[in-house]
Chain A
Amino acid sequence: MTDVAMRERTPPPATLDRPLDYLHDAHTLRSWLFTIDHKRIGILYLIAITAFFIIGAVAAGLVRLALVVPDGQIFTNDTYNKLFTIHGVVMVWFFLIPSIPATFGNFLLPLMIGAKDLAFPRLNLLSWYVFMTGAVFTLATVVIGGVDTGWTFYAPLSTTFSNTWVVPALIGVIVVGFSSILTGLNFVVTVHTMRAPGMHWFRMPIFVWTMYATSLIFLLATPVITMALILLVMERAFGIGVFDPALGGDPVLFEHLFWFYSHPAVYIMVLPGMGVISEIIPAFAQKKIFGYKFICYATIGLASITFFVWGHHMFVNGQSEYASLAFSFLSFAVAVPSAVKVYNWTATIHKGDIHLDTPMLYAMGYIGLFVLGGLTGLFLATLAIDEHIHDTYFVVAHFHYIMVGGTMLAFLGGLHFWWPKFTGRMYPEVWGRISALLIFLGFNVTFFPQFILGYLGMPRRYHVYPHEFQLLNILSSAGSTILAVGYIFPMIYLLWSLWFGKRAPSDPWNAKGLEWTTSSPPPKHNFIVPPIVDFEPYDYPVKAGESV
């Protein structure tokens, strides 16, 4: 009986004068900057990371511009080094890592488990301020002063040879790390303690599972790189020598500490994307997700294996070949849970009632690109092949297929999927589909040639290259302009929709999940009546003859 009461209750239609919704609760700038509402904090993050994304994307555009000519005449070597460092630092540390967890996670996690807010709302606001402090500080140093080490800050370049503003950039990145830790802590505690009555672990949406797994990585991996970066600062400031062989240290030690975080960081970026896709696909296939528990276990599996594969970044730096062998084997093992997910998504789509709306286009694009990115990861995990393609454009293409193809497409898909929930407005569907297709096309034209370039031997991070690589580089740069158009469209029409979009109902996609049972946008404490969960996740109508 509570089931009927819960699911049938229709909140009042969204109107501007309805006092309860979180956007119209108060209007002052102060009410935003001092908010402790997880939804508003999610929106603050969304605005911030969009700004950072634009900066990172402009730097990427300039890098692609430089690579149009083979003799490196467009920028000086130093400028080129600084440009790809801006691109890498901003995109990895200030866009990709916070992207889905800090925006959608903040906004949706309490909604999806039926809570009023995160466990520690003030801490949540604090982590936004910590994030902004670190990010703006580093941005100022990499844009105004410039840093040329790449986003990886490898010693001895970062400790001894670079003449750029490495220390301030490092300090900013260290500060941002604490924001990740605080967000992760908040999510872990929220998932453990704030679930609505009846919301068992195996009734949580996959997105919540992925947020939980991501948060564990935040908690366990971030402090290690924090210490590594602190020692890097010490090394540069006092020359203590932890990473300097002349002083008894070891630069490879930095690589170990760096990748102990930065490989799991790949899963900080990818797991949330997988969570988003796992929400979109059942909604647009109108079908219960296939193998729910397997996806949960695969999520935890990925989050665990990810801590034991960092050595695959170091096959050619002289580490023991027995270690390399183990790291190679474990990296192959990552393919298993990844494949479980891909098969489950495709099985969910199979014979579903498929609607090719914008979020679904992004989701399908995601599956394709993730498969390609994942499979080329196996090339790199193979010791003999890695000797050949290590540090080439093959690697660049591989991780862009995972990070742009994976995280970015999931981010945009999720943004369109939950846009009605965030803002109470629908985006223009036609423009949405056009941009989704442009991004898919532009992405592949940009990055597929880089696989070939890398396989032919073009190293990464050089802007002078042999003439025979020019055609493929021009193709890649041309693709990036298509990609840019695909990014600019949503920025325009989503903003437009805030004022002129159609008003959104509570559940525009006929999707399941607690976030769709409350109004769009949700009221201040999310639910007018605290929900009680007595239904299974993804309880889409089961058709005759369908097995689940």
Chain B
Amino acid sequence: MSDRAAIGVELAEQFTDVAQQRRAATLGMWSWLLTELLLFAALFLIALVLRILHPDSVREAAHHLKFWIGATNTAVLICSSLTMSGAIVTSRLGWQRAMVRCMLATAALGSLFLVFKGYEYYQDYIEHMTPFLAWRPYELSGDRASQLYVSLYYVATALHAFHLTTGVAILLGLAWQARANGYLQRHQNRIEIYGLYWHFIDLMWIMVFTIIYVMNR
């Protein structure tokens, strides 16, 4: 690559040097991820409690989940983490244009996930797998506890999809900013920090998929 840019971080006034600023930003993101982990953990706990309270109903409900769409989505997100890592590596090398391409590829894979997810919700809808809609009664096998488990599936996947949607939006915003020359000279660490967040969304999906779809089959 010929267009190799200088990389660096613009010093904010509250810090004394760039190393301190980088440390603060990294630790800040890790702290945020810790909080997010506990947010999801409460849901995982409830899923496990339901499994212990009503093992048969939960297994019944889990059979209605679209395992293969979930599995495909897992693969899609793992690929997106790969392209995000590509963005980080290229940002460190100062290859700004390659970095932007990697970011756009990541956003595209994230959006692909959302498309698949939307299709899965649509399938759920036409199967009448919507216990929370009063005007559209649940028509699959299973008792009330199965329906509760299905509702929990919606809460967990919607929470994840919300994170991913925000993630794609921020990523596109960053890619837009990174068109300008000299971006890497001022804000290289934003890519590093954002990468942590993206990998975290990926990791949370892997956990949602494992705990909601796989474990109860």
Question: How far does the alpha carbon of A116 sit from the alpha carbon of B57 in the complex, in Å?
Answer: 57
Chain A residues, Cβ within 8 Å of B75: none
Chain B residues, Cβ within 8 Å of A193: 20, 23-24, 27
The reply to whether A241 and B144 form a contact with Cβ atoms under 8 Å apart is yes
Interface pick from B63-71, B147-155, B197-205: B147-155
Chain A residues, Cβ within 8 Å of B49: 250, 253
The reply to whether B24 and A248 form a contact with Cβ atoms under 8 Å apart is no
Interface pick from B29-37, B85-93, B114-122, B183-191: B29-37
Q: A121-B14, A219-B34 are in contact. Are A247 and B132 (CB under 8 A)?
A: no
Q: Does A246 contact B (CB under 8 A)?
A: yes
The reply to whether B39 and A227 form a contact with Cβ atoms under 8 Å apart is yes
The reply to whether B31 and A189 form a contact with Cβ atoms under 8 Å apart is yes
Q: Chain A CB within 10 Å — which of B14, B50, B57 has the most?
A: B14
Interface pick from B40-48, B164-172, B209-217: B40-48
Q: Does A291 contact B (CB under 8 A)?
A: no
Question: How far does the alpha carbon of A181 sit from the alpha carbon of B46 in the complex, in Å?
Answer: 22
Q: Does B145 contact A (CB under 8 A)?
A: yes
The reply to whether B43 and A188 form a contact with Cβ atoms under 8 Å apart is no
Chain B residues, Cβ within 8 Å of A192: 23-24, 27
Question: How far does the alpha carbon of A525 sit from the alpha carbon of B24 in the complex, in Å?
Answer: 18
Chain B residues, Cβ within 8 Å of A186: 28
Chain A residues, Cβ within 8 Å of B23: 192-193
Q: A250-B53, A253-B49 are in contact. Are A185 and B28 (CB under 8 A)?
A: yes
Q: Does A115 contact B (CB under 8 A)?
A: yes
Q: A193-B20, A247-B145, A250-B49 are in contact. Are A223 and B14 (CB under 8 A)?
A: no
Chain A residues, Cβ within 8 Å of B13: 116-117, 525
Q: Does B195 contact A (CB under 8 A)?
A: no
Question: How far does the alpha carbon of A150 sit from the alpha carbon of B14 in the complex, in Å?
Answer: 42
A interface residues, how many (CB within 8 angstroms): 43
The reply to whether B148 and A249 form a contact with Cβ atoms under 8 Å apart is yes
Q: Chain B CB within 10 Å — which of A189, A248, A257 has the most?
A: A248
The reply to whether B16 and A530 form a contact with Cβ atoms under 8 Å apart is yes
Question: How far does the alpha carbon of A530 sit from the alpha carbon of B16 in the complex, in Å?
Answer: 10
In the complex, the chain A residue whose C-beta lies closest to that of B42 is A227
Q: A117-B14, A227-B39 are in contact. Are A248 and B31 (CB under 8 A)?
A: no
The reply to whether B28 and A253 form a contact with Cβ atoms under 8 Å apart is no
Question: How far does the alpha carbon of A422 sit from the alpha carbon of B20 in the complex, in Å?
Answer: 28
Chain B residues, Cβ within 8 Å of A120: 24, 28
B interface residues, how many (CB within 8 angstroms): 40
Q: Does B38 contact A (CB under 8 A)?
A: yes
The reply to whether A224 and B14 form a contact with Cβ atoms under 8 Å apart is no
Q: Does B94 contact A (CB under 8 A)?
A: no
Question: How far does the alpha carbon of A327 sit from the alpha carbon of B36 in the complex, in Å?
Answer: 27
User: A507-548 vs B: 1/0 string, CB under 8 Å?
Assistant: 000000000000000000100001000000000000000000
Chain A residues, Cβ within 8 Å of B28: 119-120, 185-186, 189
Chain A residues, Cβ within 8 Å of B124: none
User: B108-148 vs A: 1/0 string, CB under 8 Å?
Assistant: 00000000000000000000000111100000000111111
Give residues in B with beta carbon < 8 Å to A.
Answer: 13-16, 20, 23-24, 27-28, 31-32, 34-36, 38-39, 41-43, 45-46, 49-50, 53-54, 57, 131-134, 143-149, 151-152, 155
- A-B contacts, 28 listed (Cβ < 8 Å): A115-B14, A116-B13, A119-B28, A184-B31, A185-B31, A189-B28, A192-B23, A193-B27, A194-B15, A219-B38, A220-B35, A222-B35, A223-B36, A223-B39, A223-B41, A224-B39, A227-B43, A238-B133, A238-B151, A239-B134, A240-B131, A240-B148, A241-B148, A241-B151, A247-B145, A248-B146, A248-B148, A249-B148
